[in-house]
Amino acid sequence: MKYVMKRLLSALVVVFLTSIIVFCIVHLIPGDPAMVYAGAGAKQEQVENVRIEMGLDKPLVVQYIHWAGGILQGDFGTSLATKQPILPVLMDKFHNTFILSALGIVFAVGFGLLLGIVSALKHNSFIDLISMFIAIIGISMPIFWVGMLLVMVFSVQMGWFPATGNDTWVSYILPTITIGMNSMAIITRMTRSSVLEVLNEDYMVTAVAKGLRGRTVILVHALKNAMIPIVTTIGMQFGYLMGGAVLTETVFVYPGLGRYLVDSLTKRDYPAIQASILLLAVVFVVVNFIVDSTYYKLDPKMKDA
Amino acid sequence: MDVKNLHTYFYTKAGVSKAVNGVNFSLREGEILGIIGESGSGKSVAVKSILQIVPRPGKIAEGQIIYRGRDLLADKQAIGQVRGKDITMIFQEPMTSLNPVLTIGRQLTEGIRLHLGLSKEEANQRACEFLKQVKITNPEELLTRYPHHLSGGMRQRVMIAMALATDTKILIADEATTALDVTIQQQIIYLLKELRDRLHMSIIFITHDMGVINEIADNTAVMYCGKIQEYASTYEVMKHPRHPYTEALLKAIPSIDAEQQKLSTIPGSVPSLLALPEGCSFSNRCTQCTDRCREEEPKLIRLEDGHRVRCWKYDGQGEVVDS
Amino acid sequence: MKFLKRLLSNKLAVLGIFFILIFLLASLFAPLIATQDYSEMDLYNVLALPSAEHLMGTDEMGRDIFSGIIYGARTSVLIGVSVLLFGGLVGTAIGILAGFFEGKLDMVLMRIIDTLMAFPSILLAMFMIAIIGTGLKGAIVAVSIATVPRFARIVRSSVLKTKKNEYVDACRVLGQSNMKILFRHILPNGMAPIIVQATLTFSEAILIISGLGFLGLGADPMSAEWGAMLSNARAYLMTKPHIAIFPGIAIAITVLGFNLLGDGLRDTLDVKEY
């Protein structure tokens, strides 16, 4: 329990630090933040108005407390581009990205574990060769290009799936493969090497010498050990997947958080940038915390630590 | 149990390595057989062949292992019934031979439940019983613990309990004391001897330590390059070694009481199993080597007192028992 | 030499080296290989299919795609080398400081590094771009900073592991200075994981920067950068897929080359983690 509390505490520290850095973005960019908020071509008078209105004339600490307090109450500020409150839009986009990432990780874990385990058990076989080939290709192709190829083949040529949108469940298939491809490849490689390593352990010989059934040996003795590093990888991949979602979202014109962040970046919509980065950061921290806690459950050595 | 003409080869890229190259021995009920040899002599592979757990790319190429009238190598069903039940094994590294993520209880009881068909409670009870047999004082508590909570000696006791709890008839101990401290080593040796007497089982004890063999084994086989070079009662092997290799091994043991001035070493090193010398495999290191030794391989001979030895020195002094 | 022989006996690593050689040759001799200047637009001949004149066709502005890919190799070398120089050096320095001196400094540095590691590189890069602004230079700086944490981690653990060797104690006993021990003994012996990481960083840098280019946050769409070349291709997937295919292949082959080499190096140098 002590371990979990410690992780929770460090997670909170990370969120706090990230919030400070995110808050500072506007002050780090060259130029006057009030001018940024007022927009290009604003008159001196307007800039001054914005400065007072947004409290930019107050000390930084006061500004931070004001900003963070607002966020804690669900106020992420107003978009410079649309002049609308950010929160509802942000939640909507986040919801979409979360669904896509969740589908992607399910796809990646399902195929990754399967391919990884099979290729480890059939080490150096034809199946092993094929899955390793898929895996190295999977980590080498840019995911946005994977998406474009899938669209070219399955939407344009075959006409099986729509190339854009998120209105029906079929429209999720290509984006899911695209977003999950890279993680699938990494999980496959990780699973394979982890299972291979475990298979060489002395306790595997013990298990076989005990006369246990093959299934028990693999499922209980091998996988329970191999899962420890695999779970860490999967957790990290889920975070990475959400971060990389922007590429998939752009290819499939999918209204997600990543796309929203890129649009805000190009429009220099700083409140929106701050809000989306902070939200993504919190998601990573939460995911990492969950992974660490699972790790703790899986590895008995951690319980004493 | 009779092991007949056992050959286990490793098929590597560099060639076929004949780790076990024609091994014969029998094990009587209640006997402790010691097998001694340097690393790479094939002793460990030979006993792993009995349970058919030779690591890849090793394969049993030839031979018979007759246990209670059935050939374990030919009869798939027989080995399935015997492995982990009648014949069990403990290993060199107690630190890594137990699964780190499973409780001691789980690891102890899974064999019992599978082979004896007991319920979980009955299996737990039996596990505790055997933990007591190996002199563990708090068995109930131990069942809920994980291997990393235990010291090396304790883990080896758990391994022994695990190996015995299935009504074992033959226990194979593969360098089971090598990784332990000397005092713990002694405790384990006495424990094994005591358990042999109480449970009427046989033990095959593998080691590279002459001192350990002397303390535990009734009979001793000396292995070198995949073959048994000498085989006799442990007393005979220690007091009247016949094979030059055994003599050399004995001379390499430091002794407190003997007026030995310089500890001798065996010159040279074990030849590669991929390129064994033409004649006797020890010929390149033997001080009494003749031309014949280099050209022709000696056969195992049973001398009049029952002592078996594979060396040309004894040619014609007894009956040839295997090629 | 023995190391090279073992590396070359790994068929996949050799394939990787082959891809990398093509890539390096293309970038080195770009003006000789390219059939024309990539910035040259032929507005009467836009979106042309591959032909003898335009080996890989032309894009929506009538620029020759083949020449773009060849010059793009130059951009990619620039990207990989700069990211390695900035990110690798800074990361290595932090890793050495943390691993060699341990203690409080190590704790503080690793806390920061762990926090940064929790975020995917592309997001860190986007965060940096929010501050620095878009463009290739911004993207390179951003990706460099994003690679610092992993380098620091690997160097640190390598230094920590090597430091435990007895020969390091021996040097201490002999009274050698910290600097001498570090550069003469620890770094050369702890080099293997760093080399592997450098290879993988090169490919990752190309991947991320092409991603940023694709999003319009990286290289200018007018410049010869593979990701940027793909940014407009999306619109023509239905009608002119060749615009999307060739730059994609270029990225995939180059990245594959470095990944294969990285895998080969990892096996040959017997590096466990990455």
Given a cut of 90, whether residue B283 has pLDDT beyond it is no
Walking along chain C (274 residues) 10 residues at a time, the average pLDDT comes out as 82 91 88 78 73 74 82 90 91 88 84 78 81 84 88 87 80 80 79 88 91 86 84 78 87 94 87 59
What single-letter DSSP state applies at residue C44?
A: T
- Amino acid identity at A9: L
Q: What is the pLDDT of residues B88-125, one digit of tens each?
A: 999 888 888 999 999 999 999 999 999 998 999 999 99
Q: Most A CBs within 10 Å: which of B88, B101, B110, B169, as the mutation test of the A interface? A: B101
Q: How far is C65 from chain A (nearest CA, A)?
A: 16
Residues of A in contact with C248 (CB under 8 A): 141-142, 145, 148-149
Q: Which of B170, B165, B179 has the alpha carbon at shortest distance from B204?
A: B170
Kindly state the average pLDDT of the residues B201-210: 91
Task: Determine phi and psi for B24, rounding to 5 degrees.
Answer: -125, 135
Nearest-by-Cβ selection for A141 from C122, C241, C252 = C252
**What Cα–Cα distance (Å) separates residue B11 from each residue in A249, B18, C30, C169, C172?**
52, 9, 50, 42, 46
Nearest-by-Cβ selection for A209 from B53, B93, B103 = B53
Full pLDDT tens readout for chain A, 305 residues: 677 888 888 888 888 888 888 888 777 777 677 777 777 677 788 888 877 777 777 888 888 888 888 888 888 888 877 888 889 999 999 999 999 999 999 999 999 999 999 999 998 889 999 999 999 999 999 999 999 999 888 887 787 887 777 777 878 889 999 999 999 999 999 999 999 999 888 899 899 899 888 888 888 899 988 988 888 888 888 888 887 788 999 888 889 998 898 888 888 888 888 888 888 888 888 888 888 888 777 888 776 65
- Under the banding of pLDDT at 50, 70 and 90, the label for residue B222 is very high
- Spatial distance between the Cα atoms of A113 and A190, rounded to a whole number of angstroms: 9
- Spatial distance between the Cα atoms of C43 and C49, rounded to a whole number of angstroms: 14
Q: What structural domains does chain C harbor? A: 11-20+61-162+190-269 (1.10.3720.10)
Residues of A in contact with C126 (CB under 8 A): 246, 261-262, 265, 277
Q: State how many domains chain A has.
A: 1
- Spatial distance between the Cα atoms of B39 and B270, rounded to a whole number of angstroms: 9
Task: Determine phi and psi for B320, rounding to 5 degrees.
Answer: -75, 125
Closest chain A residue by Cα to residue C207 = A142
What pLDDT is attached to residue A287?
84
- Taking one residue from A and the other from C, the number of pairs with CB-CB distance under 8 angstroms is 115
Q: Most C CBs within 10 Å: which of A128, A133, A140, A254, as the mutation test of the C interface? A: A140
**What Cα–Cα distance (Å) separates residue C97 from each residue in A256, B117, C163, C180?**
41, 59, 13, 14
Residues in contact with A172: Cβ distance below 8 Å, sequence separation at least 6, in sequence order: A99, A100, A103, A166
Residues of B in contact with A202 (CB under 8 A): 91, 93, 96-97
Q: Are B114 and A212 in contact (CB under 8 A)?
A: yes
Residues of A in contact with C199 (CB under 8 A): none
ipTM over 0.95: no
Q: Are A199 and A119 in contact (CB under 8 A)?
A: no
In this structure, is residue A143 part of a structural domain? yes
Residues of C in contact with A163 (CB under 8 A): 237-238
Residue with tokens 């209204």: A255
What pLDDT is attached to residue A54?
74
Q: How many CA atoms lie within 13 A of A65 on its CB side?
A: 4
What residues 37-56 of chain C have any CB closer than 8 A to a CB of chain A?
none
In three-state secondary structure terms, C33 is helix
In this structure, is residue A48 part of a structural domain? no
CATH T-level fold of B2-86+168-254+262-322: Rossmann fold (3.40.50)
- Spatial distance between the Cα atoms of B284 and B207, rounded to a whole number of angstroms: 24
- For residue A229, the enclosing domain spans 92-256+287-304
Measured CB to CB, residues of chain A less than 8 Å from chain C are 14, 17-18, 25, 28-29, 136-137, 139-145, 148-149, 151-152, 156, 163, 239-240, 242-244, 246-247, 250-251, 261-262, 265-266, 270, 273, 277, 280-281, 284-285, 288
Residue with tokens 């090597």: C162
Residues of C in contact with A139 (CB under 8 A): 259
- Spatial distance between the Cα atoms of A151 and A252, rounded to a whole number of angstroms: 9
Query: In this structure, what CATH number is given to the domain that contains residue A300?
Result: 1.10.3720.10
Closest chain A residue by Cα to residue C245 = A149
In this structure, is residue A73 part of a structural domain? no
Q: Most C CBs within 10 Å: which of A265, A276, A289, as the mutation test of the C interface? A: A265
- In DSSP terms, which residues pair with C58 in a beta bridge? C64
What pLDDT is attached to residue C83?
93
CB of B117 within 8 Å of any CB in chain A? no
Q: What is the pLDDT of residues B80-93, one digit of tens each?
A: 889 989 999 998 88
In three-state secondary structure terms, B8 is strand
In this structure, is residue A188 part of a structural domain? yes
Task: Determine phi and psi for B6, rounding to 5 degrees.
Answer: -80, 130
Residues in contact with C141: Cβ distance below 8 Å, sequence separation at least 6, in sequence order: C86, C128, C132
Calculate ∠ Cα B31-B36-B279, nearest 5°: 120
Kindly state the average pLDDT of the residues B275-297: 82
Chains B and A lie in contact, requiring 3 or more CB pairs less than 8 Å apart: yes
Q: Which of A235, A146, A152 has the alpha carbon at shortest distance from A182?
A: A146
In this structure, is residue A230 part of a structural domain? yes
In this structure, is residue A15 part of a structural domain? no
Q: Quick one: which H or E segment has residue B171?
A: strand B170-174
Structure tokens at A185: 């490849």
Strand B15-26 to strand B2-12: parallel, antiparallel, or no bridges (unpaired)? antiparallel
Dihedral sign (CA B136, B137, B139, B144): negative
Exposed/middle/buried for C40, CB within 10 Å: 0-12, 13-18, 19+? Answer: exposed
Q: What is the pLDDT of residues B17-74, one digit of tens each?
A: 888 888 888 899 899 999 998 887 888 899 999 999 888 888 888 888 999 888 888 8
What pLDDT is attached to residue C274?
45
* SS (HEC) of C203-261: HHHHHHHHHHHHHCCCCCCCCCCHHHHHHCHHHHCCCCCHHHHHHHHHHHHHHHHHHHH
- Spatial distance between the Cα atoms of A25 and A277, rounded to a whole number of angstroms: 11
- Under the banding of pLDDT at 50, 70 and 90, the label for residue B261 is low
Given a cut of 90, whether residue B152 has pLDDT beyond it is no
Q: Are A275 and A90 in contact (CB under 8 A)?
A: yes
Measured CB to CB, residues of chain A less than 8 Å from chain B are 201-203, 205-213, 216, 220-221, 224-225, 228, 298-301, 304
Could you tell me the residue ranges of all domains in chain B?
2-86+168-254+262-322
- Bond preceding residue B57 cis, omega within 30 of 0: yes
Nearest-by-Cβ selection for A148 from C120, C129, C244 = C244
In this structure, is residue A85 part of a structural domain? no
Locate all alpha helices (DSSP H) within A170-222, ordered by sequence: 173-199, 202-209, 214-216
Given a cut of 60, whether residue B157 has pLDDT beyond it is yes
